[in-house]
């Protein structure tokens, strides 16, 4: 099997030291990206770690495919314990960081401990330096990127940065890279904030070569030539379609379609798109740099999920208002899905849907934890009782679109996901809309034959997150091509994907997660039977736990703690 190469670099913020360790054996079994990060996190973070404490660790990792020249590989992964879900979680971002990260020569960079003062950590192929940056306290993501470029000549493609959201430990703060690309889900920006790390830069020329077979050129050529709607309007291509089949959450999940969808849909976004946008090496170029000529507002996106959270779910029908919310989240470093849904929860409690001035004010208040923003910064799971609204989360994570009340298999996938309500964990929805060939499609209703498919998709997505491959490669990466790219049997890859899911599950079981957490806040026909089938197929216990003895240890504190 191809795998990422290079030692693990461990950065200890408390002692301001760094050391490297050869982990070749681990790399041979765990590919890279999410698989590598999950294995390291499982074995090196104490099971009872406080997500916002010094003992939590973050693992940044790329995969072998970052050594290709192929489309769909401009991504990388970070893993740690989430302050939003309280479970082990990997988050994935596009942009241009992944190849600059490989230049450091490390397979993974581990961030542990806690700094006494706000710092930027500079990771290069020659070592690690710590720069105190008290003047950057509460600086926005864009201001911080400007500082790094001015002072160090490093563009934002070399950086991960947090905004005020991360510094103020908003539970859904993102880690931003390439300015506007987000490791969005699960609040790992708050973990960096708790560790007093404003930014990390990655730079160097010590790439370890990994030979990638010629099929990469075929895939790249097809991606370049494809006449695909995502090239025009990215993920927002989904909006009108999801609205039509009643899978577009609206008015804080009280409705499944939105009368103002046209004003925030794919056509509205395409009208505002003013140039091509992409990630490193990707000819598919699905990103959405948008500009409103009248106000001069520029942002990247909004993506479909942002259109849902700050559009239909907040009762907003003008794309420019959604663009503004998107831009604020990027500047402050907040996950647009969780931020938008949480704002929508507040709008529901105050009967203020569509009040765009209030929405934009709330985003700022959340980032700085001012007034009611301090409450909302905790996320819906922790504050829904105070607001008097229903708890629209799974494992504490706010929902994306692709509503499981209509797409029942996606509903099951939201429930089983170790990450909580995240559509990219299994990505079942294309099979139910359907956006796949008829013979692969499923009826929207019910769970018949769906649990094994949920498992297969969870496993293959774990491999894509480890490769690291963008999920939008769906139409281009067949099982045979994946085998060829990674020089491994497809079934063996699925088995490794399953191992990653089980490692996450095992870690979370030690923190108290079980079947009672695998739920959704609505009825799905035959749900309990589907869940039982899922556990059986996974080889887990009927209570949603991984059988004793499959993984070692009840506590996993590493030797240096």
Q: Where are the beta strands (DSSP E) in 35-118?
A: 58-61, 76-81, 88-93, 108-112
Tell me the C-alpha to C-alpha distance, in Å, between residue 484 and each of 68, 99, 212, 215, 223. Answer: 13, 21, 9, 7, 18
Specify the residue, 193 or 266, whose C-beta has the smaller distance to ligand SF4: 266
Tell me the C-alpha to C-alpha distance, in Å, between residue 127 and each of 98, 110, 204, 206, 479. Answer: 18, 14, 10, 12, 39
Specify the residue, 176 or 387, whose C-beta has the smaller distance to ligand SF4: 176
**The length of the chain, given as a count of residues:** 561
Q: What is the closest distance, in whole angstroms, from the C-beta atom of residue 186 to ligand SF4 in the complex?
A: 19
Distance, CA of 401 to CA of 396 (rounded, Å) = 16
Q: Could you please report the per-residue DSSP string of 458-473?
A: HHHHHHHHHHT--GGG
Q: What is the closest distance, in whole angstroms, from the C-beta atom of residue 472 to ligand SF4 in the complex?
A: 4
Q: Which residues bind ligand SF4 (CB under 6 A)?
A: 71-72, 74-75, 94, 278-279, 282, 284-287, 470, 472
- Quick one: tokens of 379? 């996320």
Specify the residue, 239 or 393, whose C-beta has the smaller distance to ligand SF4: 239
Q: What is the closest distance, in whole angstroms, from the C-beta atom of residue 557 to ligand SF4 in the complex?
A: 37
> Residue 542 has what DSSP assignment?
T
Q: What is the closest distance, in whole angstroms, from the C-beta atom of residue 109 to ligand SF4 in the complex?
A: 21
Specify the residue, 75 or 179, whose C-beta has the smaller distance to ligand SF4: 75
Tell me the C-alpha to C-alpha distance, in Å, between residue 84 and each of 24, 37, 155, 452, 516. Answer: 33, 19, 30, 28, 17
Q: What is the closest distance, in whole angstroms, from the C-beta atom of residue 264 to ligand SF4 in the complex?
A: 20
Q: What is the closest distance, in whole angstroms, from the C-beta atom of residue 96 to ligand SF4 in the complex?
A: 10
Q: What is the closest distance, in whole angstroms, from the C-beta atom of residue 38 to ligand SF4 in the complex?
A: 21
- Point out which residues pair with 17 in neighbouring strands: 12
Specify the residue, 212 or 286, whose C-beta has the smaller distance to ligand SF4: 286
Distance, CA of 279 to CA of 92 (rounded, Å) = 13
Q: What is the closest distance, in whole angstroms, from the C-beta atom of residue 139 to ligand SF4 in the complex?
A: 27
For 176, the 3-state DSSP assignment is strand
Candidates 360, 242, 266, 250; CA nearest to 309 is 250
Specify the residue, 96 or 507, whose C-beta has the smaller distance to ligand SF4: 96
Q: What is the closest distance, in whole angstroms, from the C-beta atom of residue 286 to ligand SF4 in the complex?
A: 3
CA atoms in the 13 A half-sphere facing the CB of 109: 29
Specify the residue, 110 or 300, whose C-beta has the smaller distance to ligand SF4: 300
Specify the residue, 199 or 281, whose C-beta has the smaller distance to ligand SF4: 281
Distance, CA of 30 to CA of 32 (rounded, Å) = 6
Specify the residue, 21 or 224, whose C-beta has the smaller distance to ligand SF4: 224
Specify the residue, 284 or 429, whose C-beta has the smaller distance to ligand SF4: 284
Burial 470-483 (b: 16+ CB within 10 A, else e): bbbbeebbeeebbb
Specify the residue, 278 or 410, whose C-beta has the smaller distance to ligand SF4: 278
Q: What is the closest distance, in whole angstroms, from the C-beta atom of residue 466 to ligand SF4 in the complex?
A: 15
153 CB-contact burial (10 Å; exposed 0-12 / middle 13-18 / buried 19+): exposed
Query: Does residue 138 contact residue 154 with C-beta atoms inside 8 Å?
Result: no
Q: What is the closest distance, in whole angstroms, from the C-beta atom of residue 138 to ligand SF4 in the complex?
A: 30
- Point out which residues pair with 81 in neighbouring strands: 88
């Amino acid at each position: 099997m191809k795998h990422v190469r290079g030692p693990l670099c461990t950065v200890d913020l408390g002692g301001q030291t760094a050391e490297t360790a050869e982990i070749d054996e681990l790399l041979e079994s765990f590919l890279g990206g999410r698989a590598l990060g999950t294995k390291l996190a499982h074995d090196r973070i104490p099971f009872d770690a406080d997500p916002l404490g010094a003992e939590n660790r973050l693992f940044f990792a790329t995969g072998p495919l970052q050594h290709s020249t192929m489309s769909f590989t401009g991504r990388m992964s970070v893993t740690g314990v989430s302050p939003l879900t309280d479970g082990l979680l990997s988050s994935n971002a596009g942009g241009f960081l992944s190849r600059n990260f490989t230049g450091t020569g490390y397979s993974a960079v581990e961030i542990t401990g806690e700094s006494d003062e706000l710092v930027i950590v500079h990771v290069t192929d020659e070592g690690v330096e710590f720069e105190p940056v008290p003047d950057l306290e509460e600086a926005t993501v864009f201001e911080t990127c400007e500082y790094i470029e001015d002072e160090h000549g490093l563009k934002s493609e070399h950086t991960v940065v947090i905004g005020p959201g991360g510094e103020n430990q908003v539970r859904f703060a993102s880690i931003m890279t390439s300015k506007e690309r987000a490791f969005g889900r699960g609040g790992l920006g708050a973990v960096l904030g708790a560790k007093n790390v404003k930014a990390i830069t990655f730079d160097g020329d010590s790439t370890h070569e990994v030979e990638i077979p010629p099929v990469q050129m075929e895939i790249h050529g097809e991606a370049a030539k494809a006449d695909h709607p995502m090239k025009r309007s990215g993920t927002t291509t989904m909006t009108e379609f999801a609205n039509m089949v009643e899978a577009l959450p609206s008015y804080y999940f009280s409705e499944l379609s939105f009368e103002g969808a046209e004003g925030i849909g794919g056509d509205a976004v395409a009208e505002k798109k003013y140039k091509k946008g992409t990630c490193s090496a990707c000819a598919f170029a699905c990103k959405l740099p948008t500009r409103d000529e009248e106000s001069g507002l520029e942002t990247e996106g909004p993506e479909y999920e942002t259109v849902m959270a700050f559009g239909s779910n907040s009762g907003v029908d003008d794309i420019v208002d959604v663009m503004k919310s998107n831009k604020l989240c990027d500047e402050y470093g907040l996950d647009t899905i969780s931020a938008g849904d949480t704002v929508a929860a507040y709008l529901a409690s105050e009967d203020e849907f569509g009040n765009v001035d209030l929405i934009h004010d709330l985003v700022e208040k959340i980032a700085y934890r001012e007034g009611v923003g301090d409450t909302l910064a905790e996320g819906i799971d922790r504050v829904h009782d105070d607001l008097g609204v229903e708890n629209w989360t799974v494992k504490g994570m706010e929902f994306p679109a692709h509503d499981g009340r209509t797409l029942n298999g996606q509903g099951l996938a939201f429930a089983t996901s170790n990450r909580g309500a995240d559509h990219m964990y299994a990505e079942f929805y294309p099979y139910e809309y359907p956006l796949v060939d008829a013979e692969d499609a499923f009826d929207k209703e019910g769970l018949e034959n769906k649990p094994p498919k949920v498992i297969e998709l969870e496993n293959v997505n774990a491999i894509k997150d480890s490769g690291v491959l963008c999920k939008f490669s769906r139409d281009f990466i067949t099982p045979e091509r994946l085998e060829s790219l990674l020089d491994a049997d497809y079934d063996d890859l699925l088995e490794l994907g399953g191992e990653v899911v089980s490692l996450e599950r095992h870690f979370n079981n030690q923190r108290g997660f079980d079947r009672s957490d695998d739920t959704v806040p609505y009825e799905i026909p035959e749900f309990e039977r589907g869940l039982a089938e899922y556990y059986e197929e996974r080889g887990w216990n009927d209570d949603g736990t991984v059988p004793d003895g499959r993984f070692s240890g009840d506590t996993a504190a590493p030797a240096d703690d």
